[in-house]
């Protein structure tokens, strides 16, 4: 007998490892809507990300991995706001109701749901071509939000973790050379030599670890910020536009993982960081007076934090190479990139 929508919800999703009680959730799964009771001094942040089979993940992948990645990329948007994760909803479209697949999906979702105490509180299920739409809700104190607007000339530009692993991670999952679309399909060098490297990049893709707790702690200390999901250049451009400022980036300061440097070459690492996407790290701007405090919080969170440039008054984004020369990184001119 096929599983009905109600069967699916009760067997796989309305379960204590995924749909548990947390403060403020007066009603989770089980009525026509979730009921969320927000503490007086706080605001709700809400962000929706859609993941489509064979666009955002291989359709045949392990559902547990799909679930973990789906919630991770959504939590990255909450990290981008400096929000404390609160709860999420799931709009699930599946071609068929396969019990094992659904169980795996639920277990994949539960990994970060439990880590961040961010339960599933509702959603919808339909038959159709595989996709997941997740909306995450977060909480912030009213005056402690990380927004795209607010960067000031003289602010430092910082990034968490390392950049480029997301692009190489995609290569490790698809087994295809990563093409950087903004620069007309230039392929990145990606040549893993051992299992440790393969494992690293597989995890970079399937189990990104957005710096959620760190983000929550620095809200109020940074002038602007967002998560790096589309490549540093495109994402930083959003901060510059929202803040009506420019930026000067020192390319030699971009942080790469030792694995990225081992499997690739310097040009590919740089392109992966600038254009690759899927890194789910943070790009932040902050007054230099905040640097010591931010470094201390990063250290407490076990994160690296790297100054890569500064905000300037003149609009536009300048990339400076190791010799102090300006590199033209506008996508259409990439063919002239030094190599």
We find the least distance from the C-beta atom of residue 23 to a copy of itself, in angstroms, to be 13
The contact set with a copy of itself (CB under 8 A) reads: 26-27, 30-38, 40, 43-56, 77-78, 80-81, 83, 89-93, 121-129, 131, 133, 135-138, 140, 142, 145, 147-149, 226-227, 242
Per-residue b/e over 238-253, b at no fewer than 16 CB within 10 Å? ebbeebebbbbbbbee
We find the least distance from the C-beta atom of residue 264 to a copy of itself, in angstroms, to be 27
We find the least distance from the C-beta atom of residue 236 to a copy of itself, in angstroms, to be 13
Distant-in-sequence, close-in-space partners of 91: CB < 8 Å, separation ≥ 6 = 123, 124, 132, 133, 134, 135
We find the least distance from the C-beta atom of residue 153 to a copy of itself, in angstroms, to be 21
We find the least distance from the C-beta atom of residue 45 to a copy of itself, in angstroms, to be 4
Q: How far apart are CA 226 and CA 231, in angstroms?
A: 12
Phi and psi for 96 in degrees, rounded to 5? -155, 160
Q: Quick one: 78 or 263, whose CB is closer to a copy of itself? A: 78
In degrees, to the nearest 5, what angle opens at C-alpha 143 toward C-alphas 141 and 149? 120
Total number of residues shown for the chain: 339
Q: Quick one: 44 or 262, whose CB is closer to a copy of itself? A: 44
Q: How far apart are CA 257 and CA 201, in angstroms?
A: 11
Q: Quick one: 149 or 252, whose CB is closer to a copy of itself? A: 149
Q: Quick one: 166 or 192, whose CB is closer to a copy of itself? A: 166
Task: Indicate the burial class of 296 (C-beta count within 10 angstroms; 0-12, 13-18, 19 or more).
Answer: exposed
Q: Quick one: 135 or 197, whose CB is closer to a copy of itself? A: 135
Report which of 122, 108, 99 is spatially closest to residue 32, judged by C-alpha positions.
122
Q: Quick one: 80 or 260, whose CB is closer to a copy of itself? A: 80
Q: Quick one: 90 or 188, whose CB is closer to a copy of itself? A: 90
Cβ(223)–Cβ(152) below 8 Å: yes
Q: Quick one: 165 or 227, whose CB is closer to a copy of itself? A: 227
We find the least distance from the C-beta atom of residue 201 to a copy of itself, in angstroms, to be 23
Q: If you ran DSSP here, which 8-state letter would residue 31 be given?
A: B
We find the least distance from the C-beta atom of residue 189 to a copy of itself, in angstroms, to be 27
Distance in Å from the first CA to the final CA of the chain: 61
Cβ(298)–Cβ(188) below 8 Å: no
In degrees, to the nearest 5, what angle opens at C-alpha 56 toward C-alphas 270 and 50? 115
Reading the block at residue 166, the tokens are: 């997301």
CB atoms within 10 A of CB 259: 21
Report which of 64, 112, 66, 104 is spatially closest to residue 88, judged by C-alpha positions.
112
We find the least distance from the C-beta atom of residue 133 to a copy of itself, in angstroms, to be 4
């Amino acid at each position: 007998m096929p599983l009905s929508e109600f069967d699916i919800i009760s067997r796989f999703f309305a379960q204590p490892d995924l749909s548990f009680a947390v403060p403020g959730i007066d009603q989770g799964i089980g009525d026509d809507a979730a009921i969320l009771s927000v503490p007086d001094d706080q605001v709700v942040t809400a962000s929706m990300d859609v993941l489509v089979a064979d666009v955002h993940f291989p359709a045949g992948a392990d559902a547990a991995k799909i679930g973990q990645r789906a919630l991770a990329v959504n939590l990255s948007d909450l990290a981008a706001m400096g929000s404390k994760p609160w709860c999420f909803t799931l709009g699930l479209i599946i071609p068929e109701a396969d019990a094992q697949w659904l169980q795996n999906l639920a277990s994949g979702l539960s990994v970060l749901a439990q880590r961040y105490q961010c339960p599933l509180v509702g959603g919808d299920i339909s038959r159709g071509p595989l996709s997941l739409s997740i909306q995450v809700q977060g909480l912030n104190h009213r005056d402690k939000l990380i927004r795209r607007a607010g960067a000031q000339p003289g602010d430092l530009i910082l990034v968490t973790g390392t950049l480029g692993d997301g692009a190489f991670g995609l290569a490790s999952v698809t087994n295809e050379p990563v093409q950087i679309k903004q620069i007309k399909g230039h392929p990145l060098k990606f040549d893993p030599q051992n299992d440790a490297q393969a494992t690293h990049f597989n995890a970079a893709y399937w189990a990104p670890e957005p710096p959620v707790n760190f983000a929550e702690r620095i809200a109020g200390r940074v002038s602007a910020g967002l998560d790096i999901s589309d490549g540093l250049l495109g994402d930083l451009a959003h901060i510059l536009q929202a803040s009506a400022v420019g930026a000067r980036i020192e390319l030699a300061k971009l942080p790469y993982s030792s694995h990225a440097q081992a499997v690739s070459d310097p040009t590919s690492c740089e392109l992966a960081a600038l254009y690759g996407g899927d890194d789910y790290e943070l790009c932040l701007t902050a007054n230099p007076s905040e640097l010591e405090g931010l470094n201390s919080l990063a250290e407490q969170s076990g994160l690296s934090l790297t100054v890569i440039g500064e905000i300037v008054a003149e609009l536009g984004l300048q990339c400076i190479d190791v010799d102090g020369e300006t590199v033209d990184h506008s996508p259409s001119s990439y063919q002239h990139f030094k190599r």
